[in-house]
Structure 1
């Protein structure tokens, strides 16, 4: 199962309806928690999620709305005696912040945490693909994350039938690439790997587009509206229109807008602005919302990407 659970959607200041940030991605055997802001542990309870399945925690940067929930999550990992290692990724220059949050209060520490700081060019192989991180443009060191499944092939029933491949021979093809004189390429078609991108707290820069390129699901901040574009640029944030333009230019399939400033009372304005830039699937994030990854494409030709520019 591949599904995003949204735990919080506010920016600097939470509201009555929006908690600080928090996003959990279930990707087959990997369960990744992104940017646990203050209150994430309770939001997980409300969403019916436990810490036990977590395999990775990914921090984009050490502003409080993206990391103040980390102490509670770490202490809960110890309390629940999570039996496997949990890798924690964060900007390498923020190691002091991580250490302080890691030991923010006294607790019986039995968590098997594996700190793995990220720097430009970071990549880690997971059971579901490759996790990479790229630096973004914000007021402090900030990274975005991308999880990309390796490309594969899918069996085409009509071709299997045409070559008379049935039963155990199908498994042999998948394991070895050949059954007699028939090769895997003869009876299969390319299957593009799925891609997920997570972009928070940044002004426009090349790495925003690199992270979002061809994403099946793009989670991206849209803190401001166009009327405050000058302020957004000054403090290193995106407008809803800019976020949607990134999705269009990068060929993303579904975009999740989040990280909304409390200054706007009507959140539908973010959706209206984004619609002017992107005619694909746009989701206006709400706390405790679940978003499945879009159905897998059969080939790269199905992705209607628009060139940047």
Structure 2
């Protein structure tokens, strides 16, 4: 439930020109205005499940998209089993409708959504909650990072570098064949996962595996672990254990039960820090959290030191 200090859910992930809006709860349209987020910034709406705190903001967001004349497609992912709820939310009031919303119902244990030419893949994975719920994982394709010192050592420069990237091998000025593997290292794509209401399950672990940022619910403290299991939620310690096991770089905790007071916040951080040694953020309304920079490989770090 919203409190005097905290709005309903609503999380926007900015990703290379796209805006992925997760779980717009009641009041999201106004929070977007306060945060300087325009309807035109939204390209995806991803709903994890149809409990009110995760979807009651859909009508306002959709109607704002219509009113502001957004022209680009806005894809909407949601559990297919809740299509009737989506339909009610989508048409909850009288307004001049828009044709840019494209429905992407999710079903099965795991589903890869068609993201077209977006610079990321989007996977939905079923979770464990009293109603059908899904988590989402975004991942950019891997690539290769060129190593200037290795290129220079082989005399590969200018147009030859582009050819090497495109064809995988070139003939250097001295007649040697130079391969892409000799002059570059694999660069893993950045990854982010969004996990809301769920008990511990295989889906949580799959979504979190190796991500740079994990945004995950932390509804209860450890002392209320029995309630967490009963109602289909996680404790802060459980969320942190998932992050530690999965090799997450930045753990973002959210979705705290209203039973706890504002002055209890440090207890969530204390419990998580005892389990996870990486960076942890407890989110507050309108927080902005940067995705960690791409990891450097050992060879990249060596190149960095060589070139100062």
Instruction: Give, in whole Å, the separation in 2 of the partners of 1:215 and 1:76.
Output: 32
Give the TM-score taking structure 2 as reference length: 0.91
Instruction: Give, in whole Å, the separation in 2 of the partners of 1:154 and 1:258.
Output: 35
Counterpart residue number, 1:276: 274
1:147 is aligned, of 123, 138, 145, to: 138
Instruction: Give, in whole Å, the separation in 2 of the partners of 1:114 and 1:247.
Output: 33
Residues 207 and 198 from structure 1, CA distance in 2 versus in 1: closer, same or farther, beyond 3 angstroms? same
Find the structure with the greater CA-based Rg.
2
After superposing the two structures, state which structure 1 stretch, 236-245 or 150-159, moved more. Answer: 150-159
2:230 is aligned, of 228, 231, 234, to: 234
Counterpart residue number, 2:105: 117
Matched, 1:157 2:174: no
After superposition, where does 1:8-19 map in structure 2 within 5 Å? Answer: 13-19=1-7
Q: Greater relative contact order: 1 or 2 (C-alpha under 8 angstroms, separation 6 or more)?
A: 1
In 1, are the aligned partners of 2:185 and 2:299 still within 8 Å (CA)? no
Counterpart residue number, 1:5: none
Give the TM-score taking structure 1 as reference length: 0.91
In 1, are the aligned partners of 2:104 and 2:113 still within 8 Å (CA)? no
After superposition, where does 1:1-309 map in structure 2 within 5 Å? Answer: 13-120=1-108, 121-126=110-115, 127-180=118-171, 181-265=177-261, 266-299=264-297
Instruction: Give, in whole Å, the separation in 1 of the partners of 2:159 and 2:42.
Output: 36
Instruction: Give, in whole Å, the separation in 2 of the partners of 1:119 and 1:162.
Output: 52
- Matched residue count: 290
Question: Please, what is the CA RMSD of the aligned residues?
Answer: 1.5
Gaps of 5+ in 2: 172-176, 301-308
- Describe the superposition over 1:254-306 as per-residue Cα deviations: whole angstroms up to 9, x where unpaired: 1000001111112111101101110111111111111111010123999xxxx
Q: Please report how far the alpha carbon of residue 48 of structure 1 lies from its aligned counterpart in structure 2 after TM superposition.
A: 0.6
Instruction: Give, in whole Å, the separation in 1 of the partners of 2:12 and 2:291.
Output: 13
Q: Please report how far the alpha carbon of residue 125 of structure 1 lies from its aligned counterpart in structure 2 after TM superposition.
A: 4.4
